[in-house]
Structure 1
């Protein structure tokens, strides 16, 4: 018999609300299968199983808030259906457990008793819409995202929460305050000539439809992963007063959500992906993040995060590390600047890269090596 527990989906998470079971007693589950959807302050996250077996019992009801580490289900090796009475239907009105006392709660919106997709629940919460007032167009009358968006056209926007902060903003703020308080940050910045890279991407994309073009951000993410092969001290997690070096390079991508706030899901084994694969997976992450369908492993396995201002905007930014990671790379918007080339000064596209790192595990020398290695890789885009 093995136990499936509420996982921690971030250093700031203390509990999650179960919004959907994707398994039932008697189902065979393999490691990596998505078994449930849990809603946190960062949205609805698909939870994968870390165990293999047959579901013997579901211990949490839809709508129940469960602290991290508490049991959600039990897996066995035999089918329990033939020898046990049928479980009480989980679609009955939810029995909401008392939440963990340290967990901030969202404004009370009675949505847990209505069949709805996680994306619809998240959108309804952001807009202050009661799901029970919507006629669903999904399977078995379930409310889907399109139904919420249609309702939002005729429903006044709910007033902001106290202090004008959404629950997502509160969660991000709490995590960043903790990060700055507990992690001894230091920063190293470097200007890199990205003109050749941008010209190479323009030529590469010339005959491609928009859906297949590779953006500058994807090239930077791939180059960052390759640079980490040379500076391994930045690739891992700091936990229980020790640095744990990761044997995978999983680059987190900071994504701004439409309702406010930020998430940083990771691309697994980014250094082994092709440039086209990185771009396709980044598009997929953005789409699913904004629809509230990220997976638990994407939220927890990142080993370094890249946060970019995009191709237009401010010249520079200094980021705050996402714990338990030990580094974050902030990328400013490219700027045309005077640049010395040989004996002349010419206008070139220049991008400012700022590395924030944890002084407990590395120092300025290693940070500098990372940025100069990154510069060398970006100067040879044909090898990405």
Structure 2
């Protein structure tokens, strides 16, 4: 038997509100399956299970806010025997009230039935061996309410006020921790984007609108390939040591419409073609702004890219997102005079910056990493 805990879906998360369960007691689940939706400062997030098994019990009702690390469900391994029931109660006399303890039902279902005044013996269970689940009780309660409304409709209940979420405060807390605990060092470098822009213009001119690429995707791909070459920038600082990532999963900073940022990961970004990466990027941005990311996307990044796009700021010095050990920033591309082959020409330049953890790498390694990013962007046909 194992407890499924309220997961930490980011360094800025201390608690979460369970919005809904996607499973019921008795359901068989597989590792990576979405089992719940949790509301955090970053929106509603689909939470996946960490192992295969059978849902034994749901410990938290939807709408409940619980701290990170608190058990919210109980899981048993596939094939593991169900817990042995306790000794049967003494037989009831002819005049005694029905003893609902003899009815197979989960503790959560019993509590809900008691709260709603529902007789468990009157219900048919849909769980294993006919056990009554929380959903069975909920359906019975809904049916009873529907019958009551048909006789005398009740006035509409006002919606419960939502709990205000301090997004800025949550982000500030995480970044304060990062600056306090991670010994940052910063490097900056101008990158000539003219070859990438020319290649991109040719690509987009020869493809339909739906298949066109954004400059940001070239930058993401260049960082991914450089991180594969320099694995000491691709991973985590955990328990006093560096742990390499199990792949190159590039987190991309996305601004939310209601304020704040999230940085979900593009998994195995070094293994996908530019069109594949563009499709994944478009999907990720859409779901991030709709508040429908998964926990593994929020937690899976091994290195992050923060790009200001067309915001008009030439340089960005980002803060490392713990427990990662590096983040790359790109400012707004600008047209400037640049020396090419001994001649001064107008070129499109972008300022690339690297923030890295000095416990894992140093300035020399950081310079080589940025040089690799630069070389890839100047040879876009290799991306």
Shared topology, TM-score over 0.5?
Answer: yes
What corresponds to 1:215 in structure 2? 214
> How many Å separate the matches in 2 of 1:196 and 1:132?
62
Give the distance between the partners of 2:20 and 2:228, measured in 1 at CA.
39
Look up the SS of the partner of 1:270 in the other structure.
Answer: coil
- Contact kept? 1:42, 1:171, Cα under 8 Å: no
Residue 354 in 1 paired to residue 353 in 2? Answer: yes
- Residues 239-285 of structure 1 show CA distances to partners (whole Å, capped at 9, x for unaligned) of 22211111311100000001000000001111111111111111111
Distance 1:83 1:235, change over 3 A: same
Distance 1:195 1:312 in 2: 19
1:24 equivalent to 2:70? Answer no
* d(CA) in 2 for partners of 1:194, 1:132: 58
2:106 corresponds to 1:60:
no
- Residue 67 of structure 1 and its aligned partner are, at CA, apart by 1.9
Aligned pairs for 1:22-171 (under 5 A) are: 22-76=22-76, 77=78, 81-83=127-129, 85-89=131-135, 167-171=166-170
Q: How does 1:1-384 map to 2 (within 5 A)?
A: 1-76=1-76, 77=78, 81-83=127-129, 85-89=131-135, 167-384=166-383
Residue 181 of structure 1 aligns to a residue whose secondary structure is: helix
Instruction: Check whether the contact 1:4–1:51 (CA below 8 A) recurs between aligned residues.
Output: no
CA contact (8 A) 1:236 1:325 kept: yes
Separation (CA, whole Å) in 2 of partners of 1:175 and 1:73: 27
Q: What is the distance in 2 between the residues matched to 1:91 and 1:360?
A: 54
- Unaligned 5+ runs, structure 2: 83-126, 139-155
Residue number in structure 2 paired with 1:145: none
The alignment partner of 2:23 has SS state of coil
Structure 1 position 90, deviation (Å)? 9.1
Alignment deviations for residues 23-63 of structure 1 (CA, whole Å, 9 cap, x no partner): 11222211111110111112111001111122221111001
Larger Rg: 2
Aligned residue pair count: 318
- 1:200-259 deviation digits (Å, cap 9, x = unpaired): 111101133333211000111011000012211111111222111113111000000010
Structure 2 distance, partners of 1:323, 1:53, is 30
Q: Is residue 24–residue 134 contact of structure 2 (8 Å, CA) maintained in 1?
A: no
Distance 1:209 1:45 in 2: 33
Alpha-carbon separation, structure 2, partners of 1:55 and 1:45: 20
Deviation per residue, 1:138-184 (Å, 9 max, x gap)? xxxxxxxxxxxxxxxxxxxx9xx8xxxx6111111111111111111
Q: Deviation at 1:91?
A: 8.8
Per-residue CA shift, 1:12-33, capped at 9, x if unaligned?
3222110011111222211111
Distance 2:158 2:208 in 1: 41
Give the Å deviation of 1:132.
Answer: 6.5
- Using the size of structure 1 for normalisation, the TM-score is 0.78
Which whole-Å CA distance do the structure 1 matches of 2:137 and 2:279 have between them?
36
Cα pair distance change 1:91/1:250, threshold 3 Å: farther
For the residue of structure 1 that corresponds to 2:134, the secondary structure is coil
Aligned partner of 1:139 in structure 2 is: none
CA distance in 2, matches of 1:330, 1:132: 49
Equivalent pair of 1:41/1:167 in contact (CA under 8 Å)? yes
Deviation of 1:89 (Å): 4.1
Mean Cα deviation higher: 309-318 or 356-365: 309-318
Segment of structure 1 superposing worse, 249-258 or 174-183: 174-183
Looking at structure 1, the residues matched to 136 and 337 of structure 2 have their Cα atoms a distance apart, in angstroms, of: 65
